[in-house]
Chain A
Amino acid sequence: MMLNWETELIGIHTNNAFQSKYDCSGFIGVSGALQGSIVVSVDQDVAFAAAHSFLGTRPKTINAEVIDMVGELTNMIAGASKDRVGIPGITLGLPTVITGKQHTVSFANSAHVEILQFSSPHGELTVEIGVRGL
């Protein structure tokens, strides 16, 4: 991908069996054939390294560009996930990013949740998919 990082899937969890604690999370709403959301979470070091790859300069704080980058990363991962699911009629919303040291993400009990943990050269990232309609 555009980051050119080697990533490896290091864990799969279902239905809130794992709670990530990260610094930045990008959310994208899923509607249409499936309803729910896709969340991509990273620690600030991963976010800074990704921003460095995208922009050529490493930010020192979680600024507007880092937030923008996490949103775009979420957009790309959600788009690729939608494509791989292969179910027609899924619509993705626009990304929203929340920041906060060591925050957690929880889904409603009615959602089916798949949590994918990845390692990267700069730290871990987590993709959480919580949907109804499967």
Chain B
Amino acid sequence: MKVLVADDSGIMRKIIIRSLNSVGVTDIVEAANGQEAIDKYKETPVDLILTDWNMPEKSGLDVVVEIRATGSQVPIIMVTTEAQKGQVISAIQAGVNDYLTKPFEADDLRAKLDKFVSV
């Protein structure tokens, strides 16, 4: 199983990757901004995407919209500090499958991953 992790914070990517490793996922592609996430997804389709919302170049919402526009149904989890109801609704309407607000505990992320990860 291949997973794309998009976050402009290298530390957040490390934390997320640590959780992915803990559920047996080691095939991971990293992106440090929204455009890089879109480009990497187009180069190498993955089985799951975890994306931040606020990123340079393009936002996580842009990532969701552009990937869904290709017809892809890849599961996408938004991992973000954006917790206002309107924004959660916007993300879900754009095609996000699940939503996790920062800060989160490792168990919260693992619970989300368990829904989508098949190793």
Contacts and interface: CB of A to CB of B under 8 A. Distances in A.
A55 B81 contact: no
Interface in A92-125: 92-94
A64 to B, nearest CB: 8
Interface string B6-36: 0011111011000000000000000000000
Interface stretch (B40-48, B65-73, B82-90): B82-90
B83 A80 contact: yes
A79 B83 contact: yes
A65 interface: yes
B117 to A, nearest CB: 21
A42 interface: no
A134 to B, nearest CB: 18
A60 B15 CA distance: 20
Contacts of B82: 79
A69 B82 CA distance: 18
Contacts of A80: 81, 83
A55 B56 contact: no
B102 interface: yes
A71 B8 CA distance: 10
A9 interface: no
A78 interface: yes
Interface string B43-75: 000000000001110000000000000000000
Given A65-B10, A68-B11, A83 B84 contact: yes
Given A2-B15, A51-B11, 19 more contacts: A2-B103, A2-B105, A54-B11, A55-B11, A55-B14, A68-B9, A71-B9, A72-B9, A72-B11, A72-B12, A75-B9, A79-B80, A79-B81, A79-B83, A79-B102, A83-B84, A92-B54, A94-B54, A94-B55
